[in-house]
Amino acid sequence: MYNERILQYEHETMGKEIRDLLYRYQGNIWLDSVGRSFDDREIYRIIVGNRTAEKKILFTGAIHGREYMTAKLLVKQTEHFLQYMCEGGNEDFDVAVHVIPMVNPDGAALCHRGIEGIRKKELKEKLLKIKEKEDFVRWKSNARGVDLNRNFDAFWKEYSCEKQKPSAEKYKGAYPESEVETKALTRLTRKEKFQATISYHSSGEVIYWDFGQQGKLREDTKKLAKVIGDTTGYEIIDGWDKIAPAGYKDWALLEMKIPSVTIEIGKGDSPLSENEFPEIWEKNKDIWKNILRIM
């Protein structure tokens, strides 16, 4: 049974909140889609700030289905930033802030509603064959059983994933960028040439930034991580050899040479309890402003 806590932040809920922001802040926020998931859901992209600015930054969330609280956080951060800019903020941030709150809407739908959250009959049939537990509450992968944050071309071949076939988590896919959601992110990143990317995950209250990068890229990434650490109080983790590769942050650093970090919010197991959100919000509400001040 999917309780009220689990049902509190679905893809549809997120869409309604974003449309409300579009109405309230017309001319200061823009919405489009970078693609559609395998189960035909929009992968929304929000832009706020100066849409035509040369400097661009990307925030992403919910690349893992059960981590949908990161989508809620990113939408609330969007609203908080719009309020600041439109209701008295005196800083001129000449930056376009791109936000993809929910990279994996199908995975989130499985967490929220179980198999009935999937629309396509063929996907339902395949998922019922590969599910490993009685329900999908802790489902991490997309609707094809691929862990999207292990599907990027950053030591993908070298990564010996625990699962060798579609699964709730830890299956890296048949080849890098095998999934439409992964392709949507890499296509956008190649096109926009961001100055920084920040990926929200849960949980652990830590910041990952190190992927063996060197020189200025290393210095800039560590500077970004320090600002986030100073703001949130989260621990900054050095080293990467013991951390599983092939994630979006890893690819952005290795292939695109973009300063990129992963932020893990919350303390409990995912999906995080709603009771954690007020503390998470207090620690993360000023992230955008503090990052933009160093760009």
Residues serving a catalytic function are 264
The CA-atom distances, in angstroms, between 208 and each of 202, 224, 284 are 12, 11, 16
Enter the tokens of residue 70: 């990161």
For residues 23 and 99, give the distance between their C-alpha atoms in angstroms, rounded to a whole number. Answer: 18
For residues 289 and 80, give the distance between their C-alpha atoms in angstroms, rounded to a whole number. Answer: 10
Helix (H, G, I), strand (E, B) or coil at 52: coil
Enter the tokens of residue 155: 């030591």
Enter the tokens of residue 195: 């100055």
Q: Where are the alpha helices (DSSP H) in the chain?
A: 11-24, 69-86, 105-113, 121-130, 180-192, 215-232, 248-254, 277-284, 287-292
How does DSSP classify residue 243? S
Neighbours of 276 (CB within 10 A): 16
Q: Is the peptide bond before 260 cis (omega within 30 degrees of 0)?
A: no
Q: How many helices and strands (H and E) does the chain possess?
A: 9, 8
* Residue 234, amino acid: Y
For residues 209 and 223, give the distance between their C-alpha atoms in angstroms, rounded to a whole number. Answer: 10
The CA-atom distances, in angstroms, between 145 and each of 40, 180, 183, 207 are 16, 13, 16, 26
Enter the tokens of residue 65: 């289905």
Enter the tokens of residue 53: 């600015």
